[in-house]
Amino acid sequence: MEADKTLRRDVALANRIIERCGLSNVFGHASARIPGTDTFLFPRRRSPGFAEENHLLVIDTDGNVRTGVGTPNSELWIHARIYASRPDIGGIVHAHPMACICLSQIGEPFRIVHNQGGAFAAGVAEYEPIGLIRTRELGDQLVRCLGSAVGVIMRGHGITTATADIRSATVAACFLEEGARLQLQMLAAAGGDQGQIRAYTREEADRVSDQLSPAIVARAWEYYAAVAEVRPLGG
């Protein structure tokens, strides 16, 4: 019972974090698998900044609302189909962060330009079709694109991160957007010449690939959670 309460609190907090930390405003959502089941906790159809632990829905991998009152976010299929095909996944974040969207629209792949980017040493998937993931089929298409990657950048739309638990999926999303912001700033400073950016080599990226270790996730989650508590909506 206590574990269920903690998970609900984490899901609500993860949603507020992605809004308070600038990864989403009106849209976006974070979810967590209820351990050992094909169901997950998911917020209602409002800005993630409004998520509350007592108003979460329980949804299954076929997209059915099992318990809870209210309408789910229409992109529930992102979560439902990843949980259906990846039993190793326990947490998912979908957000619309601006720097990642910018990269996708200037045809720049995400490059590892700082240590926290090492979370994506194995690569970031790129999903080309525009528009929202509002059907089971589109959810399955996104799953195929994601493969075994930690995250996917969706062109003109946003990002999705999928990891073992909700806290690391949230931290991964924050690190992905942070890296994209830095990459854009470096591109601007270099006058648009991406050849001047000293992106990490594969070997260098591997050396900092432990960014989602339990110790780093615990420290980052503590910070982001505190920020979400003190920063106002829209702040």
Residue type, 175: F
C-alpha to C-alpha distance for 79 and 77, rounded to whole angstroms: 5
Residue 129, token pair as written in the block: 């079709």
DSSP bridge partners of 29: 94
Residue type, position 134, single letter:
R
Query: CB under 5 A: which stretch of 73-81, 137-145, 167-175, 188-196 binds Zn ion?
Result: 73-81
Residue number with CB closer to Zn ion (101 or 121): 101
Query: Per-residue contact track with Zn ion, 6 to 45, x per CB under 5 A?
Result: ----------------------------------------
Query: Site mask, Zn ion, residues 136-155, x = CB under 5 A?
Result: --------------------
Give residues 152-181 in contact with Zn ion (rule: CB under 5 A). 158
- How many whole angstroms separate alpha carbon 141 and alpha carbon 87? 17
Cβ atoms < 10 Å from Cβ of 182: 17
Q: How many residues of this chain interact with Zn ion, rule: CB under 5 A?
A: 2
SS3 call for 224: helix
For Zn ion, the closer of residues 8 and 157 by Cβ is: 157
> What 8-state DSSP symbol labels residue 72?
B
The nearest distance, CB 133 to Zn ion, in angstroms, is 7
| Interacting residues with Zn ion (CB under 5 A) | 75, 158
